[in-house]
């Protein structure tokens, strides 16, 4: 956590931390209240039960406070989700095909690879398809995860400024060798990416031309 590998890492980690800290505070508060009431109203101190009338103020508080906390988590989650759904118009489109048990990647010029190569600092939009069963495209370091279904095209996007190699996994059980369904995204400097793309395209016999997402 807290290593900014993509445009979503910081916001997702911040929200995760917020929810965990909030949950811990609530847990400690509820536990402390429970212990207090157990000690204060134990049988040895209160041998005869006493009927307690309702308290409107308390009822409003224990309804309003959890609602406010829940809505705050929903708000931050929703704003992050909207950002993840709004790919830039100039994002590099890459077709991603899932099948038992591998990932395949195809660039706009028809170049096909088994590893996702992307330039650092440029938005990449992945168009996700499955040839067989349900899968889930997951890049843990980027905090990007999207379900992949047969007969349906899903999409996700990301930007990474950190050159390096990052795991791509399938996050939905898809059969016997599900745990082996790994690939990688290789983030490269723009010049290195251009050189790789030209060389790989020439070897594949396709033009070394990229297009923006539509």
Per-position b or e across 45-65, b if 16+ CB within 10 A of its CB: eeeeeeeeeeeeeeeeeeeee
**Residue 208 pLDDT grade (very low, low, confident, very high; cuts 50, 70, 90):** confident
Both 110 and 189 in one domain: the answer is yes
Question: What pLDDT does residue 50 have?
Answer: 78
**pTM for the full predicted model:** 0.80
Nearest Cα to 72, choosing from 61, 82, 64? 64
Both 117 and 99 in one domain: the answer is yes
Both 52 and 138 in one domain: the answer is no
Indicate whether 212 belongs to any domain: no
**Of 38, 61, 84, which residue sits at a domain end?**
84
Question: What pLDDT does residue 213 have?
Answer: 45
Both 65 and 100 in one domain: the answer is no
H-helix segments, the chain? 9-40, 56-84, 190-204
Residue range of the domain that includes 155: 92-204
Both 76 and 157 in one domain: the answer is no
Indicate whether 52 belongs to any domain: yes
**Of 50, 84, 118, which residue sits at a domain end?**
84
Both 97 and 76 in one domain: the answer is no
Both 115 and 178 in one domain: the answer is yes
Both 35 and 67 in one domain: the answer is yes
**Residue 211 pLDDT grade (very low, low, confident, very high; cuts 50, 70, 90):** low
3-state secondary structure of 195: helix
Both 55 and 121 in one domain: the answer is no
Report the half-sphere exposure of 44 (CA within 13 A, side-chain side).
Answer: 2
How far out from the chain centre does Cα 142 lie? 7
Both 195 and 97 in one domain: the answer is yes
Indicate whether 169 belongs to any domain: yes
Question: What pLDDT does residue 24 have?
Answer: 95
CA angle 134, 138, 140 (to 5 degrees): 155
Q: Does residue 37 register a pLDDT over 50? A: yes
Number of domains observed in the structure of the chain: 2
Q: Does residue 212 register a pLDDT over 70? A: no
Indicate whether 79 belongs to any domain: yes
Question: What pLDDT does residue 111 have?
Answer: 95
Express each pLDDT in 87-130 by its tens digit.
898 899 999 999 999 999 999 999 999 999 999 999 999 999 99
**Of 63, 84, 105, which residue sits at a domain end?**
84
Express each pLDDT in 67-96 by its tens digit.
999 999 999 999 888 888 888 988 999 999
């Amino acid at each position: 956590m807290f290593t900014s590998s993509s445009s979503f890492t910081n916001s997702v980690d911040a929200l995760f931390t917020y929810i965990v800290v909030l949950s811990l505070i609530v847990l400690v508060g509820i536990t402390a209240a429970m212990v207090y009431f157990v000690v204060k109203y134990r049988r040895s101190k209160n041998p005869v039960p006493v009927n307690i009338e309702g308290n409107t103020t308390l009822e409003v508080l224990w309804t309003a406070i959890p609602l406010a906390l829940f809505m705050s988590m929903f708000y931050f989650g929703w704003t992050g989700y909207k950002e993840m759904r709004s790919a830039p118009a100039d994002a590099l489109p890459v077709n991603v095909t899932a099948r038992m048990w591998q990932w395949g990647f195809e660039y706009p010029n028809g170049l096909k690879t088994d590893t996702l190569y992307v330039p650092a600092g440029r938005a990449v939009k992945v168009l996700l398809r499955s040839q067989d069963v349900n899968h889930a495209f997951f890049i843990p370091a980027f905090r990007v995860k999207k379900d992949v279904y047969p007969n349906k095209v899903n999409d996700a996007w990301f930007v990474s400024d950190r050159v390096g190699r990052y795991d791509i996994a399938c996050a939905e059980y898809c059969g016997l060798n599900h745990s082996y369904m790994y690939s990688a995204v290789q983030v490269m400097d723009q010049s290195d990416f251009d050189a790789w793309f030209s060389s790989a395209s020439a070897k594949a016999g396709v033009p070394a031309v990229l297009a923006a997402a539509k």
